[in-house]
Amino acid sequence: MISITLIGSGNVATHLYNAIKNCETIVINEWFSRNLTQISKYSNEVSITSDLQNLKESDVYIIAVSDDAIEDVSKQLPFKDRLVVHTSGSVRLYDIDMKHKRGVFYPLQSFSKDVDLEFSEVPICVEALRKEDFNTLKTIGEALGCIIHKVNTNQRKALHLAAVFANNFTNQIYRIAHEICESQSAEFDILKPLIKETARKIDDVSPYKAQTGPAKRGDKKTIKKQLKMLDNEMQKDVYELLTKSIKQTHGQR
């Protein structure tokens, strides 16, 4: 049985807690939050604490706090030579204090505390300095039913950057699409089958092959008309930049 101390009580920590509590081979030994009220509702299931200086001894300490706080929290941990990992896509493994055995357990998904997801479908990118620590993290991920990917820091940072494009930027584009529909009282819901098919399609073909639309075809008149329809300067800029990017990728001028 691998015992885990969970540090933080935000989106990732809450999903990790809910996934781990159903596992037979790993256990949350203790859950830390600087604000106990965030986790007090779990106090009859797990030992909770807001005292970083008196944490119980566990096999692994998972720091799932804001990126900027990881280094400081790892420094404050009052012990050494135990396995301490963070869950960030962009923070260096070396930002964890060197008194610890260090690693990264980065779940590549978009987590919101109040939105359920199937944790076993989340790919976990794992980094560790020592083979035996990697194996411990792999065992934890596999106990959760996840696929484990051994990555180095540059690969993890690239995956995180790619995820910003694939998730955050795409979602912002949905937002713009929503605004454009609203401006003419058209229903955004009518676009949902298209949105779903666009995501589904990349299971079968590459993003390069999946591209369609006026920029890929080089339909200059349509592009001109659509740009004229946009009176929001920011939306115009986004349209022009993405059109330029698609044209360049597909050899249109």
Q: Could you list the residues that contact ligand NAP (CB under 6 A)? A: 8-13, 33-35, 38, 64-67, 69, 72-73, 87-89, 106-107, 110-111
Q: Specify the amino acid at residue 196.
A: K
Distances, alpha carbon 105 to alpha carbons 3, 74, 167, 208, in Å: 15, 15, 20, 31
Of 75 and 130, which has the nearer Cβ to ligand NAP? 75
Shortest separation between residue 98's beta carbon and ligand NAP, angstroms = 19
Give me the least distance between CB of 158 and ligand NAP, in Å please: 15
Q: Which is nearer to ligand NAP, 107 or 214 (CB)?
A: 107
Q: Which residue is nearest to ligand NAP (CB)?
A: 10
Cα–Cα distance for residue pair 46/68, rounded to 1 Å = 27
Q: Which is nearer to ligand NAP, 51 or 81 (CB)?
A: 51
Using the minimum distance from each CB to ligand NAP, give the nearer residue, 65 or 83.
Answer: 65
Please tell me the distance from the alpha carbon of residue 85 to that of residue 102, in angstroms, as a whole number: 6
In the chain, which ranges are continuous DSSP H helix?
11-20, 70-76, 131-143, 153-163, 170-183, 192-201, 207-210, 214-217, 220-229, 233-249
Q: How far is CA 173 from CA 81, 178, 234, in A?
A: 46, 9, 12
User: By the 8 A CB rule, do 73 and 64 touch?
Assistant: no
Residue closer to ligand NAP by CB (options 140, 246) is 140
Nearest approach in angstroms of CB 11 to ligand NAP is 4
Distance CA(253)–CA(250), nearest Å, equals 9
What phi, psi does 35 have (nearest 5°)? -120, 95
Output the smallest distance, CB 14 to ligand NAP, in A.
7
Could you tell me which residues come within 8 angstroms of residue 183 by beta carbon, excluding any fewer than 6 positions away? none
In whole angstroms, the minimum distance from the beta carbon of 87 to ligand NAP comes to 4
Given a contact cutoff of 8 angstroms between Cβ atoms, the answer to whether 205 and 197 are in contact is no
Task: State the minimum distance, in angstroms, from the CB of residue 89 to ligand NAP.
Answer: 6
CB of 205 to ligand NAP, least distance (A): 27
Measured from the CB atom, the residue of 79 and 245 that comes closer to ligand NAP is 79
